Amino acid sequence: MALTVDMDIKQTAEKLINKHSLSVDEYEFLITNRTPGITELIRSEAVSVRQKIYGNKVFVRGLIEISSYCRNDCLYCGIRKSNHNAERYRLDEEQILSCCDEGYDLGYRTFVLQGGEDAYYTDERLEALIREIKRRYPDCAVTLSLGERSYESYKRLFEAGADRYLLRHETADKEHYGMLHPSYQSFDTRMKCLEDLKKIGYQTGCGFMVGSPFQTARHIAKDLKFLEEFRPAMCGIGPFITHKDTPFKDEENGSTELTLFLLSVIRLILPNVLLPATTALGTTDAIGREKGILSGANVIMPNLSPTEVREKYALYDNKICTGEESAQCRQCLSRRMGSIGYEIVTDRGDVKKI
Ligand code: 5AD
Ligand code: FES
């Protein structure tokens, strides 16, 4: 019996490596029956696929956390509107532009504007901001990560110059989505937003947390199938981490090991995907981001937010880099990437067409 399982798992891994595709049942089987040997096989294949397309270059994105106000109430998130202990802030246009100025000097050529769903950020305000960033830095990409908006809004922001949009799908299983969100946040709306973004022409990113409450191997298998079909340009995954002021405060954190395994699997499914080694991964393991790169990731998103607000953008407990200056993060990451034989590049880092 043990022998057949061994054979099947090897065959399943080889099928993934050769075909970049598995059925949902096969993904589930792979996740459930992975061994250290299989994990290493998949990891080394993922690294060689990434190496062929992107070499040993790591793209960096300057992450500016523009607002901790949020109208939503995701059960896992520290800035959910029901968390009355959360300190709220928002950056104005001038503060955001000064982060970009600093980031440009540090070599960033992509700025990611991320925030809660904050009504202050109307289309008009965002259009003006995006236009000004593009005017000052025509050689930079602008990525938005501002949650769900209408088709018209996404279109206006794209026309103002935004290049990319990150909106994690969170889970590809509707029932599971319902267990992580209040009933007025809808799975169907989330999926429609992702379709809209792609249709408009954004380089679109989705993603999910690893080890979120109630998540099973079957759910993750469905996430992987979704990635295979949706074919995002970017995919953000990181371990779920508890936040002390949320309903999930007593749940368990997601596993670093499973996150690393999934980074490799995703690299094999989508060879050219822009795949960050996330801050959450650097939080569950002191060298999680390095391990992420060594598992097939090729993007790092250092914090460019003003030091005074960093603590307040706490989606989960013990987040790293909240006490550092932007320049410190930049240097720290160069050193960290250098230590594993990788190099941070000054480049927009667009998805490579293959
Ligand atoms: N742990 C890990 N990741 C989280 N996110 C939100 N809350 C948490 C948490 N507690 C992720 C979500 C969201 C992204 C911005 O951060 O996936 O889409
Ligand atoms: Fe921020 Fe290391 S990346 S201090």
Q: Judge whether residue 1 has pLDDT over 60.
A: no
Q: Is 112 in the pocket of ligand 1 (CB under 6 A)?
A: no
How far is the centre of ligand 2, averaged over its atoms, from the C-alpha of 103 (Å)? Answer: 14
Percent of the chain with pLDDT over 70: 98
351 inside domain: no
Going from the C-alpha of 259 to that of each of 40, 194, 254, 269, 348, the distances in angstroms are: 14, 23, 8, 15, 26
Query: Taking all residues of the chain, what is their mean pLDDT, rounded to a whole number?
Result: 97
Residues framing ligand 2 (Cβ under 6 A): 302, 321, 324, 328-329, 332-333
Distance 235 CA to ligand 1 centre (A): 13
Would residue 353 count as lying in a domain?
no
Residue 350 lies in a domain: no
Which tens digit of pLDDT belongs to each residue from 232-276? 999 999 999 999 999 999 999 999 999 999 999 999 999 999 999
Q: What is the pLDDT of residue 2?
A: 53
Which tens digit of pLDDT belongs to each residue from 164-214? 999 999 999 999 999 999 999 999 999 999 999 999 999 999 999 999 999
Q: With pLDDT > 90 as the criterion, what percentage of the chain qualifies?
A: 97
Local confidence band at 7 (pLDDT 50, 70, 90 cut-offs)? low
- Beta carbon of 168 within 6 Å of any ligand 1 atom: yes
6: confidence class by pLDDT, cuts 50, 70, 90: low
Does residue 290 have a pLDDT over 70? yes
Total domains in the chain come to 1
* Assigned domain for 280 exists: yes
Asked if residue 282 belongs to a domain, the reply is: yes
Residue 352 lies in a domain: no
Q: Find the CATH number of the domain harbouring 174.
A: 3.20.20.70
Tell me if 217 is assigned to some domain.
Answer: yes
Nearby residues of 316 by Cβ (< 8 Å), 6 or more positions away = 76, 77, 78, 240, 241, 242, 243, 280, 283
pLDDT of residue 115: 98
**Whole-number pLDDT of residue 354:** 74
Residues 6+ apart with CB under 8 A from 230: 169, 194, 198, 206
Q: Which atom of ligand 1 is nearest to the CA of 280?
A: 2
pLDDT tier, 66 (very low <50, low <70, confident <90, very high otherwise): very high
Average of per-residue pLDDT across 115-134: 98
Provide the domain limits for residue 255: 2-345
The amino acid that residue 114 corresponds to is Q
The arithmetic mean of pLDDT across residues 55-61, rounded, is 97
**How many whole angstroms from 328 Cα to the centroid of ligand 2?**
6
How much is the pLDDT for 4?
A: 67
Tell me the pLDDT band of 227, cut-offs 50, 70 and 90: very high
| CA distances for 201 relative to 26, 66, 231, 327, 349, angstroms | 32, 24, 13, 33, 17
pLDDT of res. 353:
86
The band of 309, judged by pLDDT with boundaries at 50, 70 and 90, is very high
- Asked if residue 66 belongs to a domain, the reply is yes
